[in-house]
Amino acid sequence: MKFVDDILKKLFSDKNTALTHKENFVQEEEEVAALFQWMASPEGKEIFELIYSNYLLQKKGEETVPELQVFRSPYANGIAISYDLPLNSKTFSRLFFAFGQRIVDLGYERVSLDRTIQEKASGVNTTEKQYLKPKATFTAERTDQLFGNVAIEKVSVNHKPQMIKILVTVYSDRLYTKARSFESFIEAIFNPQ
C-alpha cells in the first residue's frame, strides 16, 4: 500500500513533493543473449573502443564526444559517460548492461539490479543501478577485494538518457587485501583477456 499512499500524498500535498518508486528487476534470457551478441559484434566492440579512447584523451585534458569525466579520490574512483552521438538509447542501455557483464567476468557477483523512478515538478528522473561485489574468498589471511565494490548507474531525465556512471569504492579494512589500481580496473573492463 506504500505506492498508493505515495500517490495520495502526491495528489493532496505540496506540488514540490517528489514521488519516488523503487523496484528490483531482472534481465530476461533473450535480453542477456542479445547483450552477449552485441558485445561480440563489430558495433559493440567499436563502442567500447570509442569510450576507452575518450578515457585516454580525457586524461590528457582533451575534450571528447561523447564527453567522459573521471573522478578520483583515495577511496572512490570512477567515470561518467555522457549520452551523445554516436550513442543512441539502445546502445546506451546495452553499454550499461555490458559494463556489468564485464565486471562479473572479473570475478564479481551482481548483488542487486534496481530501478528508481522519481517524479518531480520538473519531470521524471529514472536511475537504473547495478551493484557488484567481489565474490567472497575465505582464507586464513585476508579477503581479496579485487578493485573494490562497483556501482553502475544509468540516469535518464524525462525518458531521455543522460549518463552512465561507474564508481569503484575500496575497503580500507585490514580484513581485505589492498585494492588493485583503478587504472588496472579500466584496462580490465575495456580490454578483457
pLDDT at 34: 93
pLDDT at 185: 95
pLDDT digits (tens, 9 = 90+) for 145-187: 899 999 999 999 998 999 999 999 998 888 888 889 999 999 9
pLDDT at 24: 85
SS3 105: coil
Q: Of 108, 104, 101, 87, which Cα lies nearest the Cα of 156?
A: 87
Cis peptide before 74 (omega within 30 of 0): no
Q: Of 153, 151, 148, which Cα lies nearest the Cα of 181?
A: 148
CA 29 from centre of chain: 20
End-to-end CA distance of the chain: 48
Q: Quote the DSSP letter at residue 41.
A: S
pLDDT at 35: 92
Tell me the backbone φ, ψ of residue 121, rounded to 5 degrees.
Answer: -60, -30
SS3 120: strand
pLDDT at 6: 65
Element (H, E) at 156: strand 149-157
CB atoms within 10 A of CB 126: 19
Low-confidence residues of the chain: pLDDT under 70:
1-17, 138-140, 193
Cell of 30: 533473450
Total domains in the fold of the chain: 1
Helix axes 89-104, 182-190, angle to 10 degrees: 120
User: 25: domain range?
Assistant: 2-190
Q: Which residues pair with 109 in a beta bridge?
A: 133
pLDDT at 144: 82
Cis peptide before 161 (omega within 30 of 0): no
Strand order in the sheet with 108-120: 19-24, 108-120, 123-134, 149-157, 160-169, 76-82, 68-72
pLDDT at 5: 64
Alpha-carbon distance 95 to 91, whole Å?
6
HEC readout, 19-45: EEEEEECCCCHHHHHHHHHHHHCHHHH
